[in-house]
Amino acid sequence: MEERKDELQTKGKEKKIKYSIIVPTYNERLNIALIIYLIFKHLRDVEFEVIVVDDGSPDGTQDIVKQLQQVYGEDRILLRARPRKLGLGTAYYHGLKHATGDFVVIMDADLSHHPKYLPSFIRKQKETGANIVTGTRYVKNGGVHGWNLMRKLTSRGANVLAQTLLWPGVSDLTGSFRLYERSVLEDLVTSCVSKGYVFQMEMIVRATRKGYHVEEVPITFVDRVFGSSKLGGSEIVEYLKGLVYLLFTT
């Protein structure tokens, strides 16, 4: 490690840390353009690439990404598409295979995750040397907008249940706005098998069990601006099944 540092210094330049931002998309024609604009706006002095993993969107998302590549450069925006909807976990794995960054950020494409928090993730990681920085909506400077009372109740109830049963060490288990050290993400993605948001829970719980250093930053979450989001009875059942699964296998 020391020799490498000296070598680089004699070369007269410092190796800049690179960040890969993986954005899985399905029918996010408008949102992907907006989110890429915002990422470039908020990460001015940072070395990064955006990897769009599109699952064969019928609405022309991939054409929009190609237009964006003309504006921002094909080396900054990578389109790594898949033929059809193949699930979130595999989308991360697919994106990861094409990522060349030292750190990997995962975020949603629907603008519920705002790129303006990216600098705070990066800063937190640099300050603490954490393996994972996860965004939390449930602390003082964080927050949610667009949830009615019922939605808040289920969210809070789910969180209390998960905290009591799993002792996860993070305040927001189902959040999917996270920064991972590259090798850590590789390790976790291959060990997790759940689907959907239970996958997000499994990732962070396994990270805690494996002893990785996890830090949190507050984020605000504005529920889906364009498009529809749903939480029904079947999601609740899936969640409970996920909790039991995590209780017995982590």
- Which positions lie near another protein, rule CB under 8 A? 27, 29-30, 33-34, 37-38, 59, 63-64, 67-68, 70-71, 111, 114, 137-146, 149, 152-153, 156-157, 159-161, 163-167, 209, 220-222, 225-226, 246-250
Classify residue 135 by burial, with Cβ atoms within 10 Å: 0-12, 13-18, 19+. buried
**Which residue's CB is nearer to another protein, number 29 or number 76?**
29
Nearer to another protein, 101 or 142 (CB): 142
Give the span between the Cα atoms of 12 and 56, in whole angstroms: 45
CB 64, min distance to another protein, A? 6
Smallest gap from residue 180 Cβ to another protein (A): 22
Q: Counting Cβ atoms within 10 Å, is residue 42 exposed (0-12), middle (13-18) or buried (19+)? A: middle
**In the complex with another protein, which residue's Cβ is closer, 16 or 143?**
143
Residue nearer to another protein on the CB measure, 99 or 158 = 158
User: Least distance in Å: CB of 189 to another protein?
Assistant: 21
What are the C-alpha distances in Å from 37 to residues 48, 59, 109, 114? 14, 20, 12, 11
Least distance (Å) between residue 59 CB and another protein: 5
Pairing relationship of beta strands 178-181 and 103-106 according to DSSP bridges: antiparallel
- Which residues 6+ apart lie within 8 Å of 74 measured at CB? none
